Amino acid sequence: MANLWDDIARTIREGVDTVVEKTEELTRIGRIKVDILNIKRNVEKNFSELGGRVYQLISKEKNAAISTDKEAKEIIECINILEKELDDKKSELAKVKSKSKPKQSGSSKAKSATMTQVKKASTKKATRKAASSNKTSSPKAKTPAKK
């Protein structure tokens, strides 16, 4: 009896450890996704600012060259930095997600295959039962449509 309780306690501890690990992974993933959204928002703000600057240069300063404008170049440089950060965060997210995918052990694969076979057998049995019950029941009479 004591052995049974030890097994139960060990199983519960393992389950709690698994829950803690998964929670930490999901928290990491959530934080990275928030970072990605913030970076995207900053990129959009910079594009908007750049568009405003280009509009100002074209409409107000008729002879201004956009490619040589110091403010426009700074905004473009900032956008490039943010896009690099965005790529880094996306690769970090992919890395964390790939680590979090559980690898099936041999016994898990066997158990999964067995469960699939059981489900298929149950489905076949239910289909045969439904087919046989349809043969024995009388067909419903069709009522003529009212004119």
Distance, in Å, from the CA atom of 34 to the CA atom of 29, rounded to the nearest integer, reads: 9
Where are the domains positioned within the chain?
2-101
Q: Three-class SS of residue 142?
A: coil
Distance, in Å, from the CA atom of 34 to the CA atom of 89, rounded to the nearest integer, reads: 10
Distance, in Å, from the CA atom of 131 to the CA atom of 133, rounded to the nearest integer, reads: 6
Q: Three-class SS of residue 146?
A: coil
Return the pLDDT at 67.
Answer: 85
| Alpha-carbon dihedral sign for residues 7, 10, 14, 15 | positive
Q: What is the CA radius of gyration of the chain?
A: 32
Structure tokens of 132? 């046989």
Return the pLDDT at 123.
Answer: 60
Q: Three-class SS of residue 62?
A: coil
Question: Which of the residues in the chain have pLDDT under 70?
Answer: 102-147
pLDDT digits (tens, 9 = 90+) for 89-122: 999 999 999 987 765 555 455 455 555 655 655 5
Return the pLDDT at 137.
Answer: 46
Return the pLDDT at 20.
Answer: 95
